Structure 1
């Protein structure tokens, strides 16, 4: 009988919290505040309704850019996996856009489109779309030819091949692509908001640094990490585990 190994992941956050308290005790609170100072700052933002407002702005920008990137990546990745000509055509573009840090596009988008929703959404789209498209393309391309041949022998048409062969076989790669894409999109969102936004969680961090409010800076950092961790733990990890058996 195999005894399951204990999962020590639960200990990492308390360890990080204790490390934070120990480090903060060596500095004045205006330089490195304690967790309870940040909690007090969070209560201040919650009480006047500003925290929800900043979160809602970031959420709308994230959803707009990420959902658009998912749709385009699904189309481009599937087309690249099925067509060698399309794959050859997009290969240099994928390499180029994935090599450039997404935040490098932020100043240009803001010069062209101005500050606001569309500029930040475009940076998020660029950050997320290309890694997702490449991951999906590799998944579709890796589907075994024997499965396709068997389906064709049984009389499957192109639509049935997509629905009953390519889609189930590529779902693990699609979920992995979503996980990668969201991570890239979230980082790009925060960085773009820090450069050129007047609202949002990234703006909170940037503005806190400008006015010397360390508690506000750390509050924004904690929110950024917490939201990413919740999405990873509650959504993407479960999706990936659910479809992992479909790789076989």
Structure 2
């Protein structure tokens, strides 16, 4: 029965969180921390029900997801083409690579002061920060993926008469897809954290703004609720969309099977 339980998807998904929630509840009930600074999961659940009933949580969550969608969309549209161009053209890469490393080292939150001056407290400001956070790690992943494509495959395709366009779509792009999938997953994770940071500083709505506004009025339960909502949403997005996409991409080109065969 125990083996059957541990093999169930529900247990593998929710089981690791049981001791975390239990420890959280024990610490809250022990009185070690004042309730003004630390609340238990029961208070967070009550706050969740109350904000859901008032429609506040749904509105904030919708605003956050809209900003994330804009940022991710523009980030992919910029990062993917720029990454492949940088990887395929040596002269462009030689010129762009130092700039790429320079901006990769600058944290997204460092842009917020100047972004506020440029765009004010607007959707454009938040979108800019998310796009900036996604583009550079995505470009690096694309370049790394193109470099991992075996040169023998490219030479073989060209020897069989394939032109540059066909080599790109039938050899380079499929070979780089596993690294690209990993870059998309990593970039979205960075973008998710950038969204929260931007909403805390420049936002007028959203989950990050809700947490910061709750801190201002001393409502710790809303702060805890915001963290739980952010964690649950990212876990669902990663488990239901990003991880299957990355796994399917890797398996499609045989990397997983070859690793298993080596074992």
The answer to whether TM tops 0.5 is yes
Alignment RMSD, CA only?
1.7
Contact 1:172-1:247 at 8 Å conserved across structures: no
Contact 2:129-2:198 at 8 Å conserved across structures: yes
In structure 2, the residue corresponding to 1:176 is in which secondary structure?
Answer: helix
Partners in 2 of 1:244 and 1:222 — Cα distance? 31
Matched residue, 1:53: 59
The answer to whether the aligner puts 1:21 opposite 2:35 as a matched pair is: no
* Gapped regions of structure 1 (runs ≥ 5): 1-5
The answer to whether the aligner puts 1:116 opposite 2:116 as a matched pair is: no
Match of 1:12 among 16, 23, 43: 16
The answer to whether the aligner puts 1:75 opposite 2:120 as a matched pair is: no
Number of residues paired by the alignment? 244
Partners in 2 of 1:10 and 1:221 — Cα distance? 17
Normalising by the residue count of structure 1, what TM-score does the alignment of the two structures yield?
A: 0.93
Matched residue, 1:3: none
1:11 positional shift = 3.1
The answer to whether the aligner puts 1:224 opposite 2:217 as a matched pair is: no
Could you report, residue by residue, the CA deviation over 1:150-196 in whole angstroms, capped at 9, with x for unpaired residues? 11122212221121111111110111011110000000000010011
Structure 1 residues 98 and 247, CA, compared in 2 at 3 Å: closer, same or farther? farther
Contact 2:148-2:175 at 8 Å conserved across structures: no
Contact 1:41-1:219 at 8 Å conserved across structures: yes
The answer to whether the aligner puts 1:165 opposite 2:171 as a matched pair is: yes
In structure 2, the residue corresponding to 1:189 is in which secondary structure?
Answer: helix
1:30 positional shift = 2.8
Normalising by the residue count of structure 2, what TM-score does the alignment of the two structures yield?
A: 0.88
Matches within 5 A, 1:1-248: 10-25=14-29, 26=31, 27-245=33-251, 246=253, 248=255
Contact 1:169-1:247 at 8 Å conserved across structures: no
Contact 1:82-1:141 at 8 Å conserved across structures: no
Contact 1:21-1:34 at 8 Å conserved across structures: yes
Partners in 1 of 2:17 and 2:104 — Cα distance? 32
After TM superposition, the structure 1 stretch with the greater mean CA deviation from structure 2, 184-193 or 44-53, is 44-53
Structure 1 residues 101 and 247, CA, compared in 2 at 3 Å: closer, same or farther? farther
Partners in 2 of 1:247 and 1:38 — Cα distance? 45
* Gapped regions of structure 2 (runs ≥ 5): 1-5, 256-263
